[in-house]
A and B are shown apart, each in its own frame.
Chain A
Amino acid sequence: MENSGPNIDQQAKELESLMARVRDLRWQFGDETYDLYLESVYDASQKIVSAVVKKPGETRALKLETKIDRVVTSKKWGFPIMFLLLAAVFWFTIVGTNYPSQWLSLLLVDTVHPWLKSMAELTELPFWISGLLIDGIYLTTAWVVSVMLPPMAIFFPMFTLLEDFGYLPRVAFNLDNVYRKVGAHGKQALTMSMGFGCNVTGVIASRIIDSPRERLIAIITNNFSLCNGRWPTQILIATIFIGSLAPSYLGGIVSAASVIAVALLGIFMSLLVSWGLHKTVLKGEASSFSLELPPYRPPRIKTILYTSLIDRTLVVLGRSVMFAIPAGMVIWLSVNISIDGKSLAFYLTEWMDPVALFFGLNGIIFLAYIIAIPANEIVLPTILLLTVLGSSVSGQEGMTMISANSALETADILKAGGWTLLTAVNLMLFSLLHNPCSTTIYTIYKETKSLKWTMYATFIPIVLGLVVTFLVARIWEIFG
């Protein structure tokens, strides 16, 4: 490229005069340019389409679609139908999870684990290697798989079915108005729905929101959507502690209802925090947008199975196992490194217990949440392992209580660890309201490029979680 000096100057001058002319013309049109242009576009497309498309008018299929929409997005039926569908999904998950969980636990925890231990004894592995590998890493992983896999393998295909059929945008449609009322963007209803799958996706999806202010609100509040990693925790705890309070034929329904209650509390919190942000640090007008309701489509079974089992179940499970390995090591070490005859975990839980109990939780839960910051998925397995290993600290050979091959036995372990109904309720609440997992935090930072907003997104939920569990614990004290 050879551009001599005068040439560039010449061009710059001409450009300047062009821009002057543009400014001049802009005075003539004002803000109308956009509308004038769009009008011409609409006109042209109208002409073309009417020439090439023959429509028979409202066909039966189209009429049916309109009818379905009129019901599922109606003021009267929209929300009840939404709750019923969600309830059905949870109920199937809860009822369907128990047996596969038992089988997996029977295989991985009751059969393979003792076999591995005996192999270790035969080969005379040093105690710390077999402990670290088999009691730490293997057992955590086995628990992650048997606790997490069955609910995911049932929940995700059903959730994906609703998505593929076209129901999720209707959920967004129903919620759109509510979100606008609290000063957030209506599209936040969509990103929130995506958060029910995974908060990382929900945070990234917030790019569909044009206004930076509303996009930030959507990003900061996405964590209030219960995600992949937290559904199984909710479902299991609900089954063990809340479902078991009801007569057995109602157990499934009661547990499903309590999970829905937590999910709804999440939606409520996202509205509340959006409103709070809108009133304080992120003031501004809510902008309008048009939401297109896509046609209902016959679900494609192959795609659903691929998306739900490979993209979701295996990815989430793989991630949990990846995090379970270091977590298992940390747990085993913290239980087995002792000072003055007492383990590190003992000191830590002992030290956190008074504070934790104040919030209706316990030290083990606090410790588990710290170990599980990288992935919410492993919170429950971590709690189980800490409880089991912790209770065996005093007696050296206390590894007998390790099998948790049904929800009932899991309950026994937890009850032996001093759990009450309050602990369970507050764990469910705290699982909803605490910091996002580290991947989400990193994604929030990448999307906002701001440390300040990342901190907001991280600490608002923790503070809310502590406030809510504190209040519940106090109310429990009064009535309990």
Chain B
Amino acid sequence: MMADPCSTCPIHHPGNLEKLGIDMSGFDYIIALAGNPNTGKSTVFNTLTGLHQHTGNWPGKTVSRAEGAYKYREKRYKLVDLPGTYSLLSTSTDEQVARDFILFGKPDVTVIVTDATRLQRNMNLVLQILEITDRAVLCVNLIDEAKRHQIEIDFRTLSRELGIPVAGTSAARQSGIPELLQKIEEVASGSFVCKPLRIKNKDKRLAEAIEEISQTLHTLYPGLPNAKWIALRLLEGDESIVNALDSGQLGNLTL
């Protein structure tokens, strides 16, 4: 029997993670947990914070956000578990909570939790989130289940394609958590600079329209981080964004 080589690696030092429960005082970074329903976000949340947010095997269990904290290598992280959503485009309360937090809560890192066995379906939300934030980590959860179904995932290529770090985990069985923590730290501290994939619009006219409007938005609000997404929302006639523009709230979004 050989010792597991991973267990001797420095990132596996068990003293690195300290679960802080609900003690969210004096945090250094805010981390948002987003993703499709039933991918195990709450399990990841519980594993990191040591809390017992109710988990259940069905979609739509978390409808409001839960908060907790952990400490990793002397830095304190505040973790916010967002409701699971299929997209960021609809008007239901749970999706609005998720979208508003990523947009206005300015998390230092958004961890997108996905189900390894349903990556195809989950990827749609991943791409939408990458439209509105520059700092994200992809957590491919439930890899034990994927193994059971003989699904193989090339994490390195996935990370390169998306332009963000990717960690494979099985939160319910505590595996892959050290890697996830390290990747969150890298993005939070700025040592890993994300270059998130931005979707190319297939329709030329739409692409041009978005380009034009986001250009104008940029001159109006220099430094606006997600001008393209706001342009898209405007073209869809999203009233909350129109109101935000009117009230000047959008100006606050600039970095």
Contact = CB atoms under 8 A, between A and B. Distances in A.
A33 B149 contact: no
A339 interface: no
Interface in A1-59: 11, 14-15, 18-19, 21-22, 25-26, 28-29, 33-34, 36-46, 48-49, 51-56, 59
The A interface, classified by DSSP as helix, strand, loop or mixed, is: helix
Contacts of B237: 26
B220 A48 contact: no
Contact of A45 (B124, B220, B232): B124
A193 to B, nearest CB: 8
Which of B38, B212, B217 counts the most chain A CB atoms within 10 A?
B38
A194 to B, nearest CB: 8
Contact of A207 (B86, B92, B201): B92
B200 interface: yes
A294 B59 contact: yes
A307 interface: yes
Contact of A15 (B54, B119, B245): B245
Interface stretch (B71-79, B156-164, B180-188): B156-164
B249 interface: no
A311 interface: yes
Contacts of B236: 33-34, 37
Given A29-B235, A33-B232, A168-B58, A204 B64 contact: yes
A294 B148 contact: no
Contacts of B90: 210
Which of B54, B145, B162, B246 counts the most chain A CB atoms within 10 A?
B54
Contacts of A282: none
Given A41-B128, A42-B124, A210-B92, A49 B52 contact: no
A476 interface: no
Contacts of A165: 57
A53 B152 contact: yes
Given A48-B162, A207-B92, A295-B145, A25 B57 contact: no
Contacts of A166: 57-58
A26 B152 CA distance: 43
Given A18-B220, A51-B157, A40 B60 contact: no
Which of A21, A22, A43, A46 counts the most chain B CB atoms within 10 A?
A22
B120 interface: yes
A10 B234 CA distance: 21
A164 B56 CA distance: 6
Interface residues of A, number: 62
Given A33-B236, A52-B161, A40 B213 contact: no
Contact of B199 (A28, A40, A210): A40
A294 B161 CA distance: 27
B199 A61 contact: no
A41 B125 CA distance: 9
Given A25-B235, A28-B209, A36 B151 contact: no
Contacts of A11: 220
Contacts, number: 170
Interface string B50-73: 001011111111011000000000
Contacts of B127: 41, 44-45
B58 A48 contact: no
Which of A52, A54, A290 counts the most chain B CB atoms within 10 A?
A52
Chain B, interface size category, equals: 35 or more
A421 B71 CA distance: 61
Contacts of A467: none
Given A21-B213, A28-B209, A306-B52, A45 B202 contact: no
B59 A205 contact: no
A163 interface: yes
Contacts of B158: 48, 52
Given A42-B124, A297-B145, A22 B161 contact: no
Nearest to B149: A59
B58 A53 contact: no
B84 to A, nearest CB: 10
Nearest to B205: A28
Nearest to B150: A56
Contacts of B120: 45-46, 49, 53
A21 B93 CA distance: 30
Interface in A286-330: 290-292, 294-295, 297, 300, 303, 306-307, 310-311
Nearest to B58: A169
Contacts of A290: 86
Contacts of B126: 45
Contacts of A230: none
A294 B38 CA distance: 7
B11 interface: no
A208 interface: yes
Given A49-B120, A210-B92, A292-B37, A307 B213 contact: no
A307 to B, nearest CB: 6
B57 A297 contact: yes
A67 to B, nearest CB: 15
A222 to B, nearest CB: 14
Contacts of A21: 212-213, 216
Interface string B196-239: 01011111011001001100110110000000000010111100
A52 B122 CA distance: 14
B54 A307 contact: yes
Interface in B107-136: 117, 119-120, 123-124, 126-128
A18 B199 CA distance: 23
Contacts of B38: 292, 294
Nearest to B40: A297
Given A61-B149, A300-B172, A307-B54, A37 B92 contact: no
B240 to A, nearest CB: 14
Nearest to A299: B57
A163 B153 contact: no
Interface string B138-175: 00000001001111111101100110000000001000
Given A28-B205, A33-B236, 10 more contacts: A29-B206, A40-B203, A41-B128, A44-B199, A52-B153, A53-B154, A164-B56, A208-B60, A208-B63, A292-B59
20 contacts: A14-B220, A21-B213, A39-B202, A40-B202, A45-B127, A49-B123, A52-B155, A53-B119, A56-B149, A59-B149, A61-B149, A163-B57, A164-B56, A164-B57, A168-B57, A190-B58, A205-B60, A207-B92, A292-B38, A297-B57
Instruction: Give 6 closest A-B pairs by Cβ, nearest first.
Output: A45-B123, A210-B92, A54-B152, A208-B60, A207-B63, A52-B154
